Amino acid sequence: MDFPRAEKLESQNEVPMPEEPGNGTSFLRTCFNGLNALSGVGILSIPYALARGGWLGLLLLFLVAILCWYTGLLLRRCMDSHPLIKTYPDIGQHAFGYIGRVTVSVFMYVELYLVAVEFLILEGDNLNKLFPNMGFTIAGLKIGGRQAFVLLTSLVVLPTTWLKSLGLLAYVSAGGVLASFILVVCIIWVGAVDGVGFHENGVLLNWSGMPTAISMFAFCYCGHSVFPHIMQLHER
């Protein structure tokens, strides 16, 4: 069977989906969503990754950035190759059939789940260090420290998951981008203006801490899995 005929049969077997003209978003809002997916907690994790892996760990950061950039180009090329390809599972099905779709879906959703868990853990640890005596009691059960902040962070983030349009979510993303920019400006101000300075302390390379550094550098680009959805809604 030739490829054009196979595509025709595949399109006939597809269940028609209703159009949703209101779910698209502008280029500027798409940029905010993309920047927020790449910045934020990833920036906060880089200093710890360098402390664990050494200064040469920056080479791994640039390597991971290049890999994500190249795979992003491949992702765009895959989505342009067929009109029915909109997500990672679609790519897996187009390349390896139903088994490929299931395999890609499992890995993608496991990654998204673990990234969400890591975000909650990081927020709990950071807020616990800022407010070490925080805690509350529910039905006689005392919850304090990291667990309390994890629960509070979950309650704050939960309403954003109910937004059905990435156009509305772009306002939340804009707040995250602004917070990341303010954080970078504060660090530069403390180092350059307040007299703290920038001191290149630490080791050049620490092999024992390299696995931790690699995982933190990869975490900086954890938004790679949502790029197809962001690009798809921008094009609508």
| The predicted structure's pLDDT at residue 143 | 77
SS3 sequence of the chain: CCHHHHHHHHHHHCCCCCCCHHHCCCHHHHHHHHHHHHCCHHHHHHHHHHHHHCCCHHHHHHHHHHHHHHHHHHHHHHHHHCCCCCCHHHHHHHHHHHHHHHHHHHHHHHHHHHHHHHHHHHHHHHHHHHCCCCEEEECCEEEECHHHHHHHHHHHHHHHHHCCCHHHHHHHHHHHHHHHHHHHHHHHHHHHCCCCCCCCCCCCCCHHHHHHHHHHHHHCCHHHHHHHHHHHHHHC
pLDDT of residue 113 exceeding 80: yes
The model's pLDDT over 49-66, given as tens digits with 9 standing for 90+, comes to: 888 888 888 888 888 889
Q: What is the mean pLDDT of residues 155-172?
A: 78
Which of 96, 41, 54, 33 minimizes the C-alpha distance to 232?
33
pLDDT over 90 (residue 11): no
Q: Is the dihedral of CA 94, 95, 100, 106 positive or negative?
A: negative
pLDDT in tens, 58-107: 888 888 889 888 988 888 888 888 888 888 888 888 888 899 999 999 99
pLDDT band at 40 (very low <50, low <70, confident <90, very high): low
Encoding tokens for residue 190? 């403390």
For the cut 80, the answer to whether the pLDDT of residue 140 exceeds it is no
The residue with greater pLDDT, 10 or 43, is 43
Band the pLDDT of 234: cuts 50, 70, 90: low
pLDDT over threshold 70, residue 13: no
At 99 the pLDDT is 93
For residue 28, pLDDT over 60 is answered with yes
Where do the structural domains in the chain lie, given as residue ranges?
A: 30-197+209-233
Residue 17 has pLDDT above 50, yes or no: no
Please compute the mean of the pLDDT values over residues 212-236 and round it to a whole number. Answer: 73
- The mean of the pLDDT values for the chain is 77
Least confident interval from 35-44, 47-56, 166-175: 35-44
pLDDT at position 27: 73
